[in-house]
Protein backbone atom coordinates (compact mmCIF):
# COMPACT_ATOMS: atom_id res chain seq x y z
CA UNK A 1 0.00 0.00 0.00
CA UNK A 2 1.33 3.45 -0.93
CA UNK A 3 1.66 5.98 1.89
CA UNK A 4 1.76 9.56 0.64
CA UNK A 5 3.51 11.19 3.57
CA UNK A 6 4.65 14.42 1.97
CA UNK A 7 1.29 15.07 0.40
CA UNK A 8 -0.29 15.28 3.84
CA UNK A 9 1.94 18.32 4.44
CA UNK A 10 1.66 19.86 1.00
CA UNK A 11 -2.10 19.76 0.72
CA UNK A 12 -2.77 21.68 3.91
CA UNK A 13 -5.01 24.59 2.89
CA UNK A 14 -3.65 28.12 3.12
CA UNK A 15 -5.73 30.74 4.85
CA UNK A 16 -5.07 34.36 3.93
CA UNK A 17 -7.20 35.71 6.75
CA UNK A 18 -10.14 38.09 6.57
CA UNK A 19 -8.48 40.76 4.44
CA UNK A 20 -10.17 41.99 1.29
CA UNK A 21 -8.59 40.44 -1.79
CA UNK A 22 -8.18 42.05 -5.21
CA UNK A 23 -7.64 40.21 -8.49
CA UNK A 24 -4.50 41.42 -10.27
CA UNK A 25 -3.54 40.06 -13.69
CA UNK A 26 -1.25 40.83 -16.58
CA UNK A 27 1.87 39.79 -18.42
CA UNK A 28 5.55 39.79 -17.45
CA UNK A 29 8.21 40.74 -19.99
CA UNK A 30 11.89 41.68 -20.02
CA UNK A 31 13.40 44.92 -21.29
CA UNK A 32 13.33 43.58 -24.84
CA UNK A 33 9.59 42.92 -24.66
CA UNK A 34 10.03 39.13 -24.51
CA UNK A 35 7.76 37.10 -22.24
CA UNK A 36 9.44 35.84 -19.07
CA UNK A 37 8.39 32.31 -18.17
CA UNK A 38 7.63 30.90 -14.70
CA UNK A 39 8.06 34.06 -12.61
CA UNK A 40 7.28 33.71 -8.91
CA UNK A 41 4.51 36.20 -8.15
CA UNK A 42 3.28 36.88 -4.64
CA UNK A 43 3.61 38.47 -1.22
CA UNK A 44 6.24 36.56 0.81
CA UNK A 45 5.13 37.96 4.20
CA UNK A 46 1.60 36.66 3.59
CA UNK A 47 2.60 33.30 2.10
CA UNK A 48 0.51 34.13 -0.98
CA UNK A 49 1.97 33.24 -4.35
CA UNK A 50 1.68 31.66 -7.75
CA UNK A 51 3.86 31.10 -10.83
CA UNK A 52 3.31 32.84 -14.17
CA UNK A 53 2.67 30.78 -17.29
CA UNK A 54 5.27 29.93 -19.92
CA UNK A 55 4.17 33.05 -21.84
CA UNK A 56 4.51 35.28 -18.76
CA UNK A 57 0.82 35.64 -17.93
CA UNK A 58 -0.33 35.73 -14.31
CA UNK A 59 -3.46 36.20 -12.23
CA UNK A 60 -3.53 36.34 -8.45
CA UNK A 61 -5.86 37.41 -5.63
CA UNK A 62 -4.00 39.54 -3.09
CA UNK A 63 -4.70 42.08 -0.31
CA UNK A 64 -3.64 45.73 -0.55
CA UNK A 65 0.08 45.03 -0.14
CA UNK A 66 3.17 45.15 -2.36
CA UNK A 67 3.24 42.36 -4.94
CA UNK A 68 6.69 40.93 -5.74
CA UNK A 69 7.98 39.32 -8.95
CA UNK A 70 10.98 36.97 -8.62
CA UNK A 71 12.97 35.18 -11.33
CA UNK A 72 16.57 33.97 -11.00
CA UNK A 73 17.66 35.70 -14.23
CA UNK A 74 16.13 39.12 -13.43
CA UNK A 75 16.02 41.74 -10.70
CA UNK A 76 13.02 41.58 -8.39
CA UNK A 77 10.16 43.92 -9.39
CA UNK A 78 7.54 45.39 -7.05
CA UNK A 79 3.95 46.50 -7.59
CA UNK A 80 1.90 48.26 -4.86
CA UNK A 81 -1.67 46.92 -4.94
CA UNK A 82 -4.55 49.20 -3.95
CA UNK A 83 -7.35 47.57 -5.92
CA UNK A 84 -8.21 45.18 -8.73
CA UNK A 85 -6.22 45.58 -11.96
CA UNK A 86 -5.99 43.72 -15.25
CA UNK A 87 -3.92 44.00 -18.42
CA UNK A 88 -0.82 45.04 -16.50
CA UNK A 89 2.60 44.78 -18.13
CA UNK A 90 5.40 44.11 -15.65
CA UNK A 91 8.91 44.71 -17.02
CA UNK A 92 11.81 42.87 -15.37
CA UNK A 93 15.37 44.19 -15.60
CA UNK A 94 18.24 41.82 -16.36
CA UNK A 95 20.19 40.53 -13.39
CA UNK A 96 23.81 41.65 -13.28
CA UNK A 97 25.81 38.42 -13.22
CA UNK A 98 28.89 38.31 -10.99
CA UNK A 99 32.26 37.79 -12.61
CA UNK A 100 33.34 34.16 -12.89
CA UNK A 101 35.72 33.12 -10.12
CA UNK A 102 38.45 30.61 -10.88
CA UNK A 103 39.68 28.39 -8.05
CA UNK A 104 42.97 26.59 -8.34
CA UNK A 105 43.98 23.34 -6.68
CA UNK A 106 43.17 19.69 -6.91
CA UNK A 107 39.63 18.39 -7.08
CA UNK A 108 37.96 15.07 -6.49
CA UNK A 109 34.61 13.73 -7.65
CA UNK A 110 32.13 13.50 -4.82
CA UNK A 111 28.44 13.33 -3.95
CA UNK A 112 27.58 16.46 -1.98
CA UNK A 113 24.09 15.14 -1.32
CA UNK A 114 22.54 11.67 -1.20
CA UNK A 115 18.94 10.77 -0.35
CA UNK A 116 19.35 8.81 2.89
CA UNK A 117 17.46 5.67 3.88
CA UNK A 118 14.46 4.75 1.71
CA UNK A 119 11.06 4.74 3.42
CA UNK A 120 9.71 1.59 1.81
CA UNK A 121 6.11 1.92 0.63
CA UNK A 122 6.00 5.69 1.02
CA UNK A 123 5.84 8.31 -1.71
CA UNK A 124 5.49 12.07 -1.96
CA UNK A 125 5.20 14.78 -4.53
CA UNK A 126 2.44 16.80 -6.15
CA UNK A 127 -1.27 16.22 -6.71
CA UNK A 128 -3.30 18.68 -8.78
CA UNK A 129 -6.75 17.09 -8.48
CA UNK A 130 -7.68 19.70 -5.88
CA UNK A 131 -6.30 22.59 -7.92
CA UNK A 132 -3.02 23.49 -9.57
CA UNK A 133 -0.68 24.45 -6.73
CA UNK A 134 2.15 26.00 -8.70
CA UNK A 135 5.23 26.76 -6.64
CA UNK A 136 4.83 23.93 -4.13
CA UNK A 137 8.48 23.22 -3.31
CA UNK A 138 10.30 20.43 -1.50
CA UNK A 139 13.78 18.98 -1.53
CA UNK A 140 16.84 18.07 0.52
CA UNK A 141 19.56 19.74 2.59
CA UNK A 142 23.28 19.48 1.80
CA UNK A 143 26.37 20.71 3.65
CA UNK A 144 29.44 21.79 1.69
CA UNK A 145 32.55 21.63 3.86
CA UNK A 146 34.84 22.82 1.06
CA UNK A 147 34.18 24.73 -2.19
CA UNK A 148 32.07 22.49 -4.43
CA UNK A 149 31.31 22.70 -8.17
CA UNK A 150 27.91 21.22 -9.02
CA UNK A 151 28.01 18.98 -12.11
CA UNK A 152 24.92 16.74 -11.82
CA UNK A 153 21.56 16.97 -10.03
CA UNK A 154 19.84 13.60 -9.92
CA UNK A 155 16.35 12.55 -8.88
CA UNK A 156 13.81 9.81 -9.53
CA UNK A 157 10.12 10.08 -10.42
CA UNK A 158 8.18 7.01 -9.38
CA UNK A 159 5.24 7.75 -11.66
CA UNK A 160 3.70 10.83 -13.25
CA UNK A 161 0.08 11.34 -14.29
CA UNK A 162 0.22 15.13 -14.61
CA UNK A 163 0.11 16.09 -18.32
CA UNK A 164 2.44 18.89 -19.40
CA UNK A 165 4.31 18.69 -16.10
CA UNK A 166 7.28 21.04 -15.71
CA UNK A 167 9.38 21.27 -12.54
CA UNK A 168 12.16 23.65 -11.61
CA UNK A 169 15.31 22.90 -9.63
CA UNK A 170 16.42 25.49 -7.09
CA UNK A 171 19.52 25.85 -4.92
CA UNK A 172 19.42 28.13 -1.87
CA UNK A 173 22.15 28.94 0.64
CA UNK A 174 20.81 28.71 4.21
CA UNK A 175 22.04 31.49 6.49
CA UNK A 176 21.25 33.15 9.80
CA UNK A 177 18.79 32.64 12.62
CA UNK A 178 15.93 32.68 11.83
CA UNK A 179 16.99 30.89 8.69
CA UNK A 180 17.15 32.85 5.44
CA UNK A 181 17.12 31.03 2.08
CA UNK A 182 19.21 32.86 -0.53
CA UNK A 183 18.99 31.79 -4.16
CA UNK A 184 22.42 31.03 -5.70
CA UNK A 185 21.34 30.36 -9.29
CA UNK A 186 21.57 32.89 -12.13
CA UNK A 187 19.91 30.73 -14.78
CA UNK A 188 16.70 28.74 -14.26
CA UNK A 189 16.74 24.95 -14.38
CA UNK A 190 13.51 23.52 -15.83
CA UNK A 191 12.75 19.84 -16.39
CA UNK A 192 9.87 18.44 -18.44
CA UNK A 193 8.51 15.28 -16.79
CA UNK A 194 6.84 12.92 -19.30
CA UNK A 195 3.68 11.11 -18.24
CA UNK A 196 4.51 7.51 -17.35
CA UNK A 197 3.47 4.80 -14.91
CA UNK A 198 7.08 3.62 -14.85
CA UNK A 199 10.05 4.81 -12.83
CA UNK A 200 12.06 7.60 -14.49
CA UNK A 201 15.59 8.59 -13.51
CA UNK A 202 16.79 12.13 -14.28
CA UNK A 203 20.36 13.44 -14.44
CA UNK A 204 20.34 17.23 -14.87
CA UNK A 205 23.58 18.99 -15.81
CA UNK A 206 23.21 22.76 -15.21
CA UNK A 207 24.18 25.16 -18.00
CA UNK A 208 25.87 27.58 -15.63
CA UNK A 209 28.84 26.90 -13.37
CA UNK A 210 27.43 26.59 -9.85
CA UNK A 211 30.21 26.97 -7.30
CA UNK A 212 29.07 26.50 -3.70
CA UNK A 213 31.13 28.00 -0.92
CA UNK A 214 31.28 26.08 2.39
CA UNK A 215 27.89 26.17 4.12
CA UNK A 216 24.41 24.64 4.18
CA UNK A 217 22.19 24.49 1.09
CA UNK A 218 18.63 23.58 0.24
CA UNK A 219 18.27 21.83 -3.14
CA UNK A 220 14.62 21.97 -4.18
CA UNK A 221 12.12 20.57 -6.65
CA UNK A 222 9.06 22.70 -7.47
CA UNK A 223 6.01 22.35 -9.69
CA UNK A 224 5.85 25.32 -12.07
CA UNK A 225 3.52 24.19 -14.85
CA UNK A 226 1.06 21.58 -16.08
CA UNK A 227 -1.73 21.29 -18.63
CA UNK A 228 -4.51 23.38 -17.07
CA UNK A 229 -7.00 22.21 -19.70
CA UNK A 230 -6.37 18.58 -18.72
CA UNK A 231 -7.03 19.41 -15.06
CA UNK A 232 -10.24 21.18 -16.03
CA UNK A 233 -11.26 18.22 -18.18
CA UNK A 234 -10.61 15.88 -15.25
CA UNK A 235 -13.16 17.77 -13.13
CA UNK A 236 -15.67 17.92 -15.98
CA UNK A 237 -15.53 14.14 -16.38
CA UNK A 238 -18.13 12.24 -14.31
CA UNK A 239 -16.47 10.81 -11.22
CA UNK A 240 -16.92 7.11 -12.16
CA UNK A 241 -15.15 7.79 -15.47
CA UNK A 242 -12.16 9.67 -14.08
CA UNK A 243 -8.73 8.09 -14.17
CA UNK A 244 -8.34 6.02 -11.02
CA UNK A 245 -4.78 7.23 -10.46
CA UNK A 246 -5.83 10.89 -10.54
CA UNK A 247 -3.41 13.64 -11.49
CA UNK A 248 -0.23 13.27 -9.49
CA UNK A 249 3.55 13.06 -9.64
CA UNK A 250 5.12 10.82 -7.00
CA UNK A 251 8.74 10.29 -6.00
CA UNK A 252 10.25 7.86 -3.49
CA UNK A 253 10.53 9.17 0.08
CA UNK A 254 13.63 8.95 2.27
CA UNK A 255 14.40 9.46 5.97
CA UNK A 256 16.37 12.71 6.08
CA UNK A 257 15.41 16.20 7.21
CA UNK A 258 14.34 18.65 4.57
CA UNK A 259 12.04 21.62 3.89
CA UNK A 260 8.86 22.32 1.97
CA UNK A 261 6.63 25.27 1.18
CA UNK A 262 3.00 25.00 0.21
CA UNK A 263 2.88 28.13 -1.99
CA UNK A 264 5.25 30.20 -4.09
CA UNK A 265 7.22 32.64 -1.89
CA UNK A 266 5.65 31.08 1.21
CA UNK A 267 7.55 30.13 4.35
CA UNK A 268 9.85 27.12 4.15
CA UNK A 269 9.01 24.60 6.87
CA UNK A 270 11.18 21.79 8.19
CA UNK A 271 10.00 18.20 7.70
CA UNK A 272 11.67 14.85 8.58
CA UNK A 273 11.49 13.41 5.03
CA UNK A 274 12.90 14.20 1.59
CA UNK A 275 12.27 13.16 -2.03
CA UNK A 276 15.70 11.80 -2.82
CA UNK A 277 17.59 14.49 -4.72
CA UNK A 278 21.32 13.78 -5.16
CA UNK A 279 24.02 16.29 -6.09
CA UNK A 280 27.31 15.20 -7.65
CA UNK A 281 30.32 17.29 -8.62
CA UNK A 282 33.86 18.30 -7.84
CA UNK A 283 35.12 19.17 -4.34
CA UNK A 284 38.16 21.44 -4.14
CA UNK A 285 40.79 20.19 -1.73
- The alpha carbon of residue 56 and the mean position of all alpha carbons in its chain are separated, in whole angstroms, by 17
122-146, pLDDT tens digit by residue?
888 888 876 677 888 888 999 999 9
Q: What is the pLDDT of residue 277?
A: 94
- C-alpha closest to that of 91 among 6, 162, 26, 5: 26
Higher-confidence position of 17 and 257: 257
Q: How confident is the model at residue 17 (pLDDT cuts 50, 70, 90)?
A: low
User: Rounded CA gap, 257 and 238, in Å?
Assistant: 40
Picking from 44, 65, 92, the residue at the C-terminal end of a domain is 92
For residues 69 and 116, membership in a common domain is answered with: no
Higher-confidence position of 281 and 46: 281
Backbone φ and ψ for 178, nearest 5 degrees, come out as -65, 160
Contact 109/227 with Cβ under 8 angstroms? Answer: no
Q: What's the domain count of the chain? A: 2
- Owning domain of residue 59: 20-92
Decide if pLDDT at 16 tops 50: no
Q: What is the pLDDT of residue 241?
A: 76
Q: What is the pLDDT of residue 12?
A: 44
Residue 14 lies in a domain: no
Q: Give rounded-to-5 percent helix, strand, coil for the chain.
A: 5, 55, 40
Q: What is the pLDDT of residue 13?
A: 42
80-100, pLDDT tens digit by residue?
999 999 999 999 999 876 665
Contact 52/135 with Cβ under 8 angstroms? Answer: no
For residues 127 and 209, membership in a common domain is answered with: yes
157-205, pLDDT tens digit by residue?
999 999 999 999 999 999 998 899 999 999 999 999 999 999 999 999 9
If you average pLDDT over every residue of the chain, what do you get? 88
Q: What percent of the chain has pLDDT over 70?
A: 89
For residues 87 and 105, membership in a common domain is answered with: no
Picking from 92, 113, 148, the residue at the C-terminal end of a domain is 92
For residues 62 and 175, membership in a common domain is answered with: no
Q: What is the pLDDT of residue 29?
A: 98
For residues 60 and 175, membership in a common domain is answered with: no
Q: How confident is the model at residue 114 (pLDDT cuts 50, 70, 90)?
A: very high
Q: What percent of the chain has pLDDT over 90?
A: 61
Q: What is the pLDDT of residue 11?
A: 44
Residue 15 lies in a domain: no
Decide if pLDDT at 261 tops 50: yes
Picking from 63, 92, 121, the residue at the C-terminal end of a domain is 92
- C-alpha closest to that of 244 among 135, 129, 157, 79: 129
Q: What is the CATH number of the domain that holds 82?
A: 2.60.40.10
For residues 170 and 70, membership in a common domain is answered with: no
For residues 148 and 266, membership in a common domain is answered with: yes
For residues 34 and 113, membership in a common domain is answered with: no
Q: What is the pLDDT of residue 191?
A: 97
Q: No. of H helices and E strands in the chain? A: 2, 22
- Across 99-103, 165-169, 254-258, least confident range: 99-103
Q: What is the pLDDT of residue 242?
A: 75
Amino acid sequence: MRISLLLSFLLLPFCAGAEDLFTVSGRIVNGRGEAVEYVQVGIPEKGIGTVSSVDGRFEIDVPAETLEFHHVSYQTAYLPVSGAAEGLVIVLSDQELPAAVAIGGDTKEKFLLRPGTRFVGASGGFDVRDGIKKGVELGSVATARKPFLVKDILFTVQDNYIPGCVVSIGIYRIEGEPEEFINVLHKPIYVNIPMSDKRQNFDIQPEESILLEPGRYFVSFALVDCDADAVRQYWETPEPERLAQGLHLYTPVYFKSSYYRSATLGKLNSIPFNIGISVKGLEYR
